[in-house]
Structure 1
């Protein structure tokens, strides 16, 4: 009897120790959560963006957004509580993913509710944040083809996205990378000049469709200096329609695809196209540009490689993981730079120390 009582006493003692240990761990986590962790309640974007828009190209959120996977086409929601971008695998499988600010912390990336079944890419969020346009290969009608890119949109309801709705001008031609002005003009690129059903990038040009009477008009080619016999693609237009940035492999660049810009004149015509220069462009590919909601940042994707200098130190396995699986490994990453570098009317003036 006494042995049994002693055994029960020891069990109760150890159980008490376990409960105290669990309590101390919970308390430590609470203290860390409340005091040790940096919060961004006043400005969630402060975790991802610098206070001043940079004068030189910088990687966006290394390890969280730019990870060594193939990431392109990133856009913030107007309140900066979500960031949407595209991940693709060897140009065969595409999905739209996003990170969200919730309970005072940024969550890890996850596929959005409407993506993951078909190839989806090129997210663009309107100024009010209630509609998201994107490109997709999903069939326009039941039983239709799933090998052609077209433009779709989803509407936000009660904090979530609804079902995708097509904005299709030609179901047998590729239409990608939508960008919309506040006035309702929809810019995108399409390979209407191709006689093939395959995606002929060299046949792409930039088109615009105006929004009239609750419908998009038949698109027209953006004319003047924008026209070329080379690939002109992935356009983004400023919300006020004042300037247009796009990628092209036309001659005279720095190698691969470069970013170019054109401004609209006082009569509404697009002016001369200018290469955005070596501060942005390099020997690899720069493409898929986007503008931050406040107009201060230009985001774009590039597959530029980060050089790794050999040292006298013996290389180990960790070295190869870090250089081969991280940003700058030759897949696309997302970069940023201040728009004041090219836009004299940027909403953020150039810092005094630059």
Structure 2
């Protein structure tokens, strides 16, 4: 174990310049990842540790900031849930969550108490199911780990993704209910809400035209108190392939007209997968925007190509953070 910790410290030292993993953050574990004050400038999260040049999406902390969960995807062919945990005074190297890695899993979301983890998966829903349909699942804490995932599908035959839950337990997600295709129809993606009841959830309802459009609307993040909704959309008028928008819940029981969050949240590339830190100060989102790397004056070397081609900002999704919108 000591050798493992030394290797982690060495690797992160090479990535960040100093061995941050060797520093203790007992009073504030999130200080390893986040500044004290939220900035209005978008910044990449933990370059080389979380954002690595792979396809990283959907970052979320536990309420005590001692665990961080996210998705790693491989060219939309396979994805898994990863996490890193603060233990023994350091952040451990990321690893696949114990119940993930066999089937495509994505979109982790933690309940306000951190005892329930919601996620999307293509795992089989039963013995006679071959899998392949995106549905929403949940898994509860079981001692020091997680129990067995259970299906939380509104319609197990259609594709449902990106769960987000209020303090009351109401579930927001996106689905392709309007499609006749068997495969996931991203262009038919819209945002839905299922109200929590004593026995489960009532029939999911599609959010109104102030939120949904005739284009792909997806990855909804509902505020814990239900006061606002942030989501991605490919509707015309945005800055890039997909932009983040916000809509507010109003006193008359309606959703306000969705407004583009603008720059620096949105870029000329794809910006999506929004999530909040537990204190609501920071907005996480994923973006495939490129980070321009200056060409070396003495000429390009192999190390230069590796750093630019395999590192964060290479055109795959990275996780970014910025000051969260105010209510």
Deviations 1:119-171 (A, max 9, x none): 00000000011000000001111120311100000000212100000011212
- Partner secondary structure for residue 210 of structure 2: helix
What is the distance in 2 between the residues matched to 1:268 and 1:291? 23
Alignment partner, residue 163 of structure 2: 178
CA distance in 2, matches of 1:214, 1:294: 30
Aligned to 2:6: none
What residue is the counterpart of 2:222 in the other structure? Answer: 237
Distance 1:255 1:123 in 2: 25
Per-residue deviation, 1:253: 0.3
Deviates more, 1:309-318 or 1:167-176: 309-318
2:211 & 2:194 partners in 1: Cα distance? 16
Please say if residues 302 and 334 of structure 1, whose CA atoms lie closer than 8 Å, have aligned partners that are also in contact.
Answer: yes
The equivalent of 1:217 in structure 2 is: 202
1:134 to 119, 133, 143: 119
Name the count of aligned residue pairs. Answer: 307
Does 1:62 find its partner at 2:47?
yes
Shift of 1:267: 2.0
Note the residue ranges of structure 2 that are not aligned, 5 or more in a row: 1-20
State which drifts further: 154-163 or 302-311.
Answer: 302-311
Q: Give the match for residue 226 of structure 1.
A: 211
**Structure with greater helix percent:** 1
Note if contact 1:233-1:247 (Cα within 8 Å) is conserved in structure 2: yes
> What corresponds to 2:5 in structure 1?
none
Q: Deviations over 1:304-334 (max 9, x none)?
A: 0111233431111110111111100000000
1:50 and 2:44 matched: no
Q: Is the 8 A contact 2:23 2:89 kept in 1?
A: no
Distance 1:230 1:96 in 2: 28
Q: In the TM superposition, what whole-angstrom CA distance separates every residue of 1:184-242 from its partner, at most 9, and x where no partner exists? A: 11000000000101111110100000111131111010114112110000000010100
2:76 equivalent to 1:91: yes
Q: Is 2:22–2:90's contact at 8 Å kept on the other side of the alignment?
A: no
SS in 2 for 1:324: helix
- Determine if contact 1:224/1:270 at 8 Å carries over to the other structure: no
Alignment partner of 1:51: what SS? Answer: coil
Distance in 2 (CA, whole Å) between partners of 1:79 and 1:168 is: 29
> Considering only CA atoms, is the larger Rg found in Structure 1 or Structure 2?
1
RMSD (Å), alpha carbons = 1.1
Structure 1, unmatched stretches of 5+, are 1-35, 346-354
The match for 2:319 is: 334
- TM-score (normalizing by structure 2): 0.92
Rounded to whole Å, the distance in 2 between the matches of 1:68 and 1:89 is: 11
| CA distance in 2: counterparts of 1:214 and 1:106, whole angstroms | 39
1:78 — aligned with what?
Answer: 63
Residues 1:300 and 2:285 are matched in the alignment = yes
Equivalent of 2:94, from 101, 105, 109?
A: 109
CA–CA separation in structure 1 for the residues paired with 2:319 and 2:107 = 13
